[in-house]
Amino acid sequence: MFNFRLLDKNDFDKKFLSLLSQLTLVGQVSKNNFLKQFKIINSNPFHFIYVLEDNNLIISSGTLLIEPKFIHNTGYVGHIEDIVVDQKYRGKNIGKKLILFLTDIAKKHGCYKVLLNCSDNKIGFYEKCLFYKNSISMAKYNE
């Protein structure tokens, strides 16, 4: 049974940032900076970070951002970001359960669609989660 929960301010000590470093560059984030950022994120009613914990460590995480729109009768679009499962726990369907969980949360918030970006080597995984290749994503990074 997977019991995903919202990120908590105490998750700094449960190696949340170490988990994220398996996904991308995190940098040197102090506990104080973590708590400041946590407060900012928590103040946004459309920003949800869910985690899964095992043995007092965060082993999986994913973010759902909900975008209010004027189109589609002032509808909402969900954006899934930062999906990561600890390398020791991969292959146990945790990632798929997390994606389905976030998709369900988006549906409960009235999202008419859910989008995510992924690299080519992750397409097969997301297809197993009932997503399909829809368009081209482009990015510009400000350095």
pTM of the model: 0.93
Residue 12, phi-psi category: left (phi > 0), alpha (psi -120 to 50), beta (remainder): alpha
Cα separation, 52 vs 7, in Å, equals 9
| Segment 71-108, tens digit of pLDDT | 999 999 999 999 999 999 999 999 999 999 999 999 99
Domain 5-117, what architecture? 3-Layer(aba) Sandwich (3.40)
Q: Which helix (H) or strand (E) holds 68?
A: strand 57-68
Cα separation, 95 vs 97, in Å, equals 5
First to last CA, the chain: 42
Question: Residue 46: pLDDT band by 50, 70, 90 thresholds?
Answer: very high
pLDDT of residue 32: 98
pLDDT of residue 135: 84
Cα separation, 83 vs 51, in Å, equals 10
Residue 88 tokens read as: 């020791």
CA 23 to chain centre: 11
